[in-house]
Amino acid sequence: MNFKTCAILLAVITLAGIAAPTTNHALANEMTVIARQSDMKSMAEAAKLIDAMFKGNTSYDSELFRDAAETIYKRSGSALTVHFEGNSVIFGSQASSTIMTERAEFNSLANDLGVYANSLSSAAESHPDSLTQDMRMKAGEVIGLGPFGKKIDPATAVLSMPAEHAFHMLLQTCASCHAQFRLKTN
């Protein structure tokens, strides 16, 4: 090998060494955004189905109801937060930089989502045939976590909530996270 070929080879190897990690990094970022947005879309579909059953627009089917709740459950908690680790601000993403500064709050909302989804899944299991009255919110029941100003753990509160109430809390968790951590784009 003459000197010129050797120098070119060296240059190619060096360039590849620099360029490859950059490209892989960009690709990994792109995959992360695709994965988390697609998980979000699946959760939106699932929530729509449960909503339609509560509204009576779709007839109640406990298996479909449970599958939808599980779809959300599987994408909640650490399955959700893992998509936003490190620098969550990526081109093509609506994730806000506040995720990095308020990670505890972000993670806690992701966990709450799992608490409500899991409770809906159990409700479907214990109501195989029909969406009975005990799954419904009672007249005058206020959506929320107990008396105003009191901080109640969702995992405890959900135990005494009818499924419909848990579903409203689940939707509120989606909305609350979006309000704090998702950029608005029109």
Least separation in angstroms between CB 182 and ligand HEC: 4
In 3D space, the residue among 63, 174, 170 whose CA is nearest the CA of residue 119 turns out to be 170
Least separation in angstroms between CB 153 and ligand HEC: 17
For ligand HEC, give the closer residue by CB, 2 or 29: 29
Least separation in angstroms between CB 111 and ligand HEC: 9
Least separation in angstroms between CB 108 and ligand HEC: 8
Question: Which residues of this protein are in contact with ligand HEC, per CB under 6 A?
Answer: 33, 36-37, 40-41, 43-44, 47, 72, 80, 93-95, 106, 109-110, 113, 170, 173-174, 177-178, 181-182
Question: Cα(135)–Cα(124) distance, rounded to whole angstroms?
Answer: 9
* Sign for the pseudo-dihedral over CA of 49, 156, 169, 88: negative
Backbone φ and ψ of 71, nearest 5°: -55, -40
For ligand HEC, give the closer residue by CB, 12 or 28: 28
For ligand HEC, give the closer residue by CB, 31 or 138: 31
Structure tokens that stand for 38 in this block: 């697609």
Structure tokens that stand for 18 in this block: 């620099």
